[in-house]
Amino acid sequence: MQKLDNYRVVVNFWDDIEKRIFDLDEILNIIDEKKDKEVFQDAKERLQILEKTFIEHEFEALMSGKYDSASAIMAIHSGAGGVDAQDWSEMVLRMYLRYAENHKYKVEVVNMSKGEEAGIKSVTFSVSGTFAYGHLKNEAGVHRLVRLSPFNSDNLRQTSFALVEVLPEIESDDEVKISDDDLKIDTFRASGAGGQHVNKTDSAVRITHLSTKTVVECQNERSQSQNKESAMKVLKAKLYKLQQEKEDAEKKELRGEYTSAEWGNQIRSYVLHPYKLVKDHRTGVETVDPEKVLEGDIDRFIEARLKGVVSREDRK
């Protein structure tokens, strides 16, 4: 039913686009530009809106992956850089929250580990909406920040890293088989800010998948059952990823390819000093307005990746 609803949204949208084009074509064929100036101007404005709407949605036609239409589960982990990296991870989280807000996606934080001094060590959150995973899947990778450190008394230039994971939300139980005997479920008291909002029950949930040693936690919801449900969604997505990675590794081994298990090179650099630049190393797309990017304006990078734009470095 979910798949049917997703298809219905897409089909209805393009049917509406076709109808609006037909209506505009009819109007433009019967009016005289010189005599009906107001009508012509109105049609022109409607055409501009239609063109903008078309461009915003044309990328959905490029999303033919199995889970491209699904919601996404994202995780951000602070890397090398200490407190600066934790602060950078929080900035990356804010960037995606703004992006989701701009695209009318719903965001729910599943679990968050805050830094002792500032920022976050890690965070897991869901981004719900049609084609959320299709849009965000290529954001996975290492994001690098270069700036003057606000946490350094000498105000020295600092390089920090954050790792972004993007997984599809798996609705079907057929994709990932999980045996209850293979799960260890622990409950504990959720951490809070204190005062009247302190959680007085063991509502937080930690699930360990014994076979793969995969651990997920959720303490954002009020009830234990809701936290368990959210944690199972994340676990299912992580096990699906492990399953895909295993299959890919086996194929590469048969082809004689070598793969490294390390983080790898960054996919995008955000430079705030000594100059201002955000550059995607896979596509070569860049902008000198990092402030706008950090407020969620990342569509240019996402669209270039969806179009299959490859940088000169990658072609080499």
| Mean pLDDT for all residues in the chain | 85
pLDDT surpassing 70 at residue 261 = no
pLDDT for 203: 85
| End-to-end C-alpha distance for the chain, whole angstroms | 45
Distance CA 131, CA 143 (A): 23
Q: Phi then psi for 122, rounded to 5 degrees?
A: -160, 155
Element holding 232 (H helix, E strand): helix 224-255
Quick: pLDDT tens for 148-195: 988 877 778 889 999 999 999 987 777 788 999 999 999 988 765 444
Tokens standing for residue 160: 């920090």
Count of residues in the chain = 316
- 63 by DSSP, 3-state: which? coil
| Residue tagged 């946490």 (tokens) | 151
Tokens representing residue 213 in the block: 């040693």
pLDDT in tens, 192-228: 544 444 455 678 999 999 999 999 999 888 789 999 9
Q: For residue 182, what is the DSSP state? A: G
Stated pTM of the model: 0.76
Contacts with 252 (C-beta within 8 Å, 6 or more apart), sequence order: 258, 259
Residue that has been written with the tokens 């009819």 in this structure? 26
Question: 141 falls in which pLDDT band (50, 70, 90)?
Answer: very high
Give the integer Cα–Cα distance in Å for 8 and 218: 33
